[in-house]
């Protein structure tokens, strides 16, 4: 079933639409959720369910003319739902140490088109990083994994991960400024 059919079902027959979306993207949503909230089965199932409910509730805002696939739209919902759920169940703490908050990009742009362009510049900048720097950034800033977990996953020293994050932030800042994003 393609995305257009799933969207149509979600709008006209929500139960069938949700069933189709879960069949198509359930494993992906579960994987994203697992990476953010952990392996507690009850929490995982509840968060995945909430993700699909949010998809159904927001399907009227989905605009395929913005060149965003339903899959990417749903991944964003899954990520935000899992982060909300993580905060709700008290596992958030400080997600990033203060010295890493400097990467945060403050854009006060009301225009959605500008936000989409900024997102593409950021994605391109991260994609330009060599391995394992790219993976380190994704694990750290997308999934909010601990440095020690990243080091174990990539079989490198935790200090190496810290150094790569530091150097990578500086490199990304330069790339983003060249792309027109003010940091």
Can you give the pLDDT at residue 181? 65
Q: Does 98-178 match 3-88 at the fold level? A: no
Can you give the pLDDT at residue 110? 45
- Rounded alpha-carbon distances, angstroms, from residue 119 to 26, 30, 107: 25, 24, 11
CATH for 3-88, options being 3.40.50.2300, 3.40.50.12710, 1.10.1740.10, 3.90.950.10: 1.10.1740.10
- The DSSP H or E segment spanning 130 is none
Give the residue extent of every domain in the chain: 3-88, 98-178
Q: Record the tokens describing residue 153, joined without a space.
A: 């996953």
Can you give the pLDDT at residue 179? 65
Can you give the pLDDT at residue 39? 83
Question: pTM for the full model?
Answer: 0.55
The Cα–Cα gap between 145 and 37 comes to: 10
CB neighbour burial string for 85-123, b if at least 16 within 10 angstroms, e if fewer: bbeeeeeeeeeeeeebeebeeeeeeeeeeeeeebeebbe
- Dihedral angle sign, alpha carbons of residues 23, 25, 31, 32: negative
Can you give the pLDDT at residue 117? 66
- Rounded alpha-carbon distances, angstroms, from residue 42 to 26, 60, 95: 16, 29, 23
Can you give the pLDDT at residue 113? 60
Can you give the pLDDT at residue 172? 81
Can you give the pLDDT at residue 144? 80
Can you give the pLDDT at residue 112? 57
Nearest to residue 32, comparing CAs of 164, 144, 148? Answer: 144
Residue 104: how many CA atoms within 13 Å on its side-chain side?
10
- Which residues touch 133 (CB under 8 Å, ≥6 apart)? 164, 167, 168
Class of domain 98-178 (CATH, top level): mainly alpha
Query: DSSP letter string over 19-76?
Result: HHHHHHHHHHHHHHHHHHH-S-HHHHHHHHHHHHHHHHHHGGG--GGGS--HHHHHHH
Ranges in the chain, pLDDT < 70: 90-118, 179-183
């Amino acid at each position: 079933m393609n995305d257009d059919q799933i969207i149509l079902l979600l709008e006209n027959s929500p139960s069938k639409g949700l069933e189709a979306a879960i069949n198509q993207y359930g494993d992906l949503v579960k994987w994203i959720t697992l990476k953010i909230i952990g392996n507690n089965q009850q929490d995982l199932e509840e968060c995945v369910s909430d993700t699909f409910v949010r998809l159904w509730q927001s399907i009227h805002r989905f605009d395929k003319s913005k060149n965003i696939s339903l899959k990417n739209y749903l991944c964003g919902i899954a990520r935000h739902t899992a982060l909300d759920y993580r905060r709700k169940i008290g596992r958030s703490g400080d997600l990033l140490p203060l010295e890493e908050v400097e990467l945060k990009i403050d854009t006060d742009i009301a225009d959605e088109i500008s936000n989409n362009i900024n997102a593409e510049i950021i994605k391109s900048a991260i994609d330009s990083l060599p391995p394992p720097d790219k993976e380190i950034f994704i694990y750290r800033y997308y999934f909010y994994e601990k440095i020690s977990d990243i080091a174990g996953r990539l079989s490198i020293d935790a200090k190496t991960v810290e150094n790569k994050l530091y150097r990578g932030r500086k490199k990304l800042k330069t790339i983003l400024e060249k792309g027109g994003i003010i940091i």
